[in-house]
Amino acid sequence: MNGFEALVLTIITASTPLLLAAIGELVVERSGVLNLGVEGMMIVGAVAAFGVAHVTGSPLLGVVAALFAGVAMSVLFGVLTLNLMANQVATGLALTILGLGLSGMIGEGFIGEPGQRLAALHIPVLSDLPLVGSIVFSQDILVYASIALVIGTYHFLFRTRSGLILRAVGDNHTSAHALGYSVIKVRFLAVMFGGACAGLAGAYLSLAYTPQWVEGMTAGRGWIALALVVFASWRPNRVLIGAYLFGAVSILQFHAQAAGIGVPSQLMSAMPYLATIIVLIIISRNVTLTKTNTPACLGKAFVPDR
C-alpha cells in the first residue's frame, strides 16, 4: 500500500504543472489565439518563483512573482500579435527562445542555491486518514488550484455569458465584432490568463516538483501542454484526464528503471514525448472530431474596422 501511495503522489506531482499550463492555453486557444510560447512563460515563472522565494524566504511570494512574470511575458506576446498583428506562430516561438535565454541569465546566480519548498496543507483529522489523507488532503496549494481552475474554466466557458462571448470570438471574430464585442480585449484577457497559468506551472516546478533552480528545468513540458489541449479537443475536463495520463507516463519510466527492466534509459526518458506524438497522430486521423471542436478562427489575426 505504501508503494501505491508513493506512485500516486509522484503522478500528481508530475501532472500538476502540465495541467496548470494546459488549462491556461486552452482558454487562450478558445479565444482564437495560438500561443506557442508556453515553454518560455513557464521557465520565466520558474526562475521568478525560485528567486523571490530564495530572497524573501516565502514560497507564497514566489508563487505570486511567478504569476506576474507569466502575465508580463503574455502581455508582450499580446501586444505583438493582437495590437501589432505579428504572426502568432513566429511570435510564440520567439517568446519561448526569449524565455529560455532570459531565465538562464536571471537564474545564473541561483544555480546550486538551496530552494524553498512549497509546504503541503494539513487539514486536521482528514490529512491523518490512511492513504486518502496523504493523497487527497495533504497536497500543496497549487495542486488544489489546478483542480479548481479546471472546474472554474469549465463553468466559465459553458455556463456563463462571458464564456459564450469568448467562444464566439474564437469561432467567428468578425460576427462577434459586428455584434459589438471587443475582440482584441477578449483575446488580450485570455492571453493574460494563459500567461498567469503558465507562470504558476513554472512556480510548481521550482518550488514543489524540484525545489531548486536548474537551467532549462521545464524540459519540454510547455510543448506537452500544447499537445494536451489538442488531445482534450479543447474541453477542460479532458485536459484534466490527459494531464494525469501524461504525468503517469513520465513517472512510470522511473519505476521501470528502478525495477530493472532492460530498456535503454534514453528510450524511457523519451516516452512522454513519444506518447505525445502518438496521441496527436491518432487524433489527427479523426477529421470530424478535429473540425467540430477546433476554434474556427484559431491563429487568425483580427484587424478591426477603422
- What's 11's domain CATH number? 1.10.3470
219 inside domain: yes
- Under a CB-based contact definition with an 8 Å cutoff, are residues 242 and 231 in contact? yes
What's residue 282's pLDDT?
77
What's residue 265's pLDDT?
65
User: How big is the CA angle at 167 (ends 166 and 168), to the nearest 5 degrees?
Assistant: 90
- Under a CB-based contact definition with an 8 Å cutoff, are residues 78 and 188 in contact? yes
d(CA 43, CA 203): 9
- Its domain, for residue 183, covers 2-293
Please provide residue 305's backbone torsions phi and psi, each rounded to the nearest 5 degrees. Answer: -65, 140
96 inside domain: yes
Eight-state DSSP code of residue 221:
H
d(CA 279, CA 276): 5
Cell 483542480, residue located: 147
Low-confidence ranges of the chain (pLDDT < 70): 1, 255-263, 265, 268, 289-291, 306
Q: Find the helix or strand (DSSP H, E) in which 287 lies.
A: helix 287-293
19 inside domain: yes
What's residue 112's pLDDT?
87
287 inside domain: yes
301 inside domain: no
What's residue 290's pLDDT?
66
The single-letter code of the amino acid at 284 is S
d(CA 205, CA 136): 20
- Please name the residue ranges forming H helices in 79-140: 88-106, 132-136
What's residue 293's pLDDT?
77
59 inside domain: yes
What's residue 263's pLDDT?
67
The cell numbers describing 73, all together, are 511575458
Please provide residue 291's backbone torsions phi and psi, each rounded to the nearest 5 degrees. Answer: -70, -35
pTM above 0.95, yes or no: no
The cell numbers describing 82, all together, are 493582437
What's residue 84's pLDDT?
94
24 inside domain: yes
What's residue 194's pLDDT?
98
Q: Which residues contact 286 (CB under 8 A, 6 or more apart)?
A: none
Instruction: Tell me the CB-side half-sphere exposure of residue 149, using CA atoms within 13 A.
Output: 27
Number of domains the chain is built from = 1
Eight-state DSSP code of residue 140:
B
Q: Is 163 exposed, middle or buried (0-12, 13-18, 19+ CB in 10 A)?
A: middle
What's residue 163's pLDDT?
97
303 inside domain: no
User: How big is the CA angle at 177 (ends 77 and 300), to the nearest 5 degrees?
Assistant: 40
